[in-house]
Amino acid sequence: MSVEETATEVTLTHPDNNKTFVKILKYGATVYSWSLEGQEQLWLSSAAKLDGSKPVRGGIPLVFPVFGKNEDDEFLSKLPQHGLARNSTWEFLGQVSANPPTVQFGLGPELANPELTKLWPMDYSLILTIELGSEHLKTHIEVSNTSSSQPLKFNWLFHTYLKIADIEDTLVSNLTGAKLYDQMLQESYVDRQPVVSFHEELDRIYQRVQEDRLIQVIDKGHPIHTVKRHNLPDVVAWNPWVEKSKGMADFEPKNGFKEMVCVEPGHVHSLLELQPGQSWTAYQLLYKDELNYQVL
């Protein structure tokens, strides 16, 4: 069977290779493991809670309807950091294709975390489609405004924790020339460095990165992850380094920051706004590619 469902999770296994699989927790519809021919591609904290008691520290948590904390919107500002999708149990909608194995999960206000839904009482429907290729993982989201009268304002982001060998040997490419908001310095500037390198905590929101820019994670000159985006113009790059990792109870081992980098495609610099009846779609595609410096 290429799709197996338990009470709490769904596993897709590729028909051509049983060491290529993806595991998705119904809680948060969080992909928490993606193995490609036996090689794990995503970082997961050894202290991550997989029992629905808090969002998963690692894998691909889903950020909706707000990234970080919103301070301006009457309703979004009441939600905790990163919203309610990652702390709600989604419905497994079933398999939509046999090869590549593809499944869907759904979320709406009737299913979402009730405490958080009280704070953000909007009508919406989310459909997450996960496709496991022999050499890729595609996560596709559709957001619909199901209200008959109110606009729907939101952010979306795939909070992808990529597994790497050593952060000090790692570069992230093809973000050069993009404007960014540096959450450490709390200021905006244009990145003029040829690549992003990591020597301390780094937390940057790159804005309006052209869609044809492939973001590559490079280990000692070799591209180990390539991230393609559709309708996700903003890219967050994050590594918590020593002090921030110490402060996160569910981040283990404490030197685990050396083996992860977050590259998070999203629409977070501004809010999306859908009128009643409208829908919006976007996807993230993780795969392997040749080294491709598009800008230096």
Ligand X SMILES: O=P(O)(O)OC[C@H]1O[C@H](O)[C@H](O)[C@@H](O)[C@@H]1O
Q: Is 86 annotated for ligand binding? A: yes
Span 226-285, contacts to ligand X by CB under 6 A: 236, 238, 262, 264
Q: Between residues 5 and 203, which has the closer beta carbon with respect to ligand X?
A: 203
Q: Does 135 bind ligand X (CB under 6 A)?
A: no
| 99 binds ligand X, rule: CB under 6 A | no
Active-site choice (14, 82, 140, 159): 159
Q: Which of residues 33-92 bind ligand X (CB under 6 A)?
A: 81-82
Question: CA quadruple 281, 139, 27, 61: dihedral positive or negative?
Answer: negative
Q: Can residue 203 be called a binding residue for ligand X (CB under 6 A)?
A: yes
Q: CA 28, CA 60: separation in Å to the nearest integer?
A: 9
Length of the chain in terms of residues written: 296
Residues 102, 172, 230, 273, CA torsion sign: positive
Q: Which of residues 144-183 bind ligand X (CB under 6 A)?
A: 183
Signed CA dihedral, 135, 294, 184, 180: sign only = negative
Number of helices and strands (H, E) in the chain?
2, 22
- Torsion region of 221: left, alpha or beta (phi above 0 gives left; psi -120 to 50 gives alpha): left
Helix residue ranges per DSSP H, the chain: 114-119, 241-246
* 290 catalytic residue (yes or no): no
State in angstroms the smallest separation of the CB of 258 from ligand X.
17
Q: Indicate if 140 belongs to the active site.
A: no
The residue annotated as part of the active site, out of 264, 269, 273, 290, is 264
Known binding-site residue numbers for substrate = 57, 81, 86
Binding site residues, ligand X, CB under 6 A: 81-82, 183, 203, 236, 238, 262, 264
| Residues involved in catalysis | 159, 264
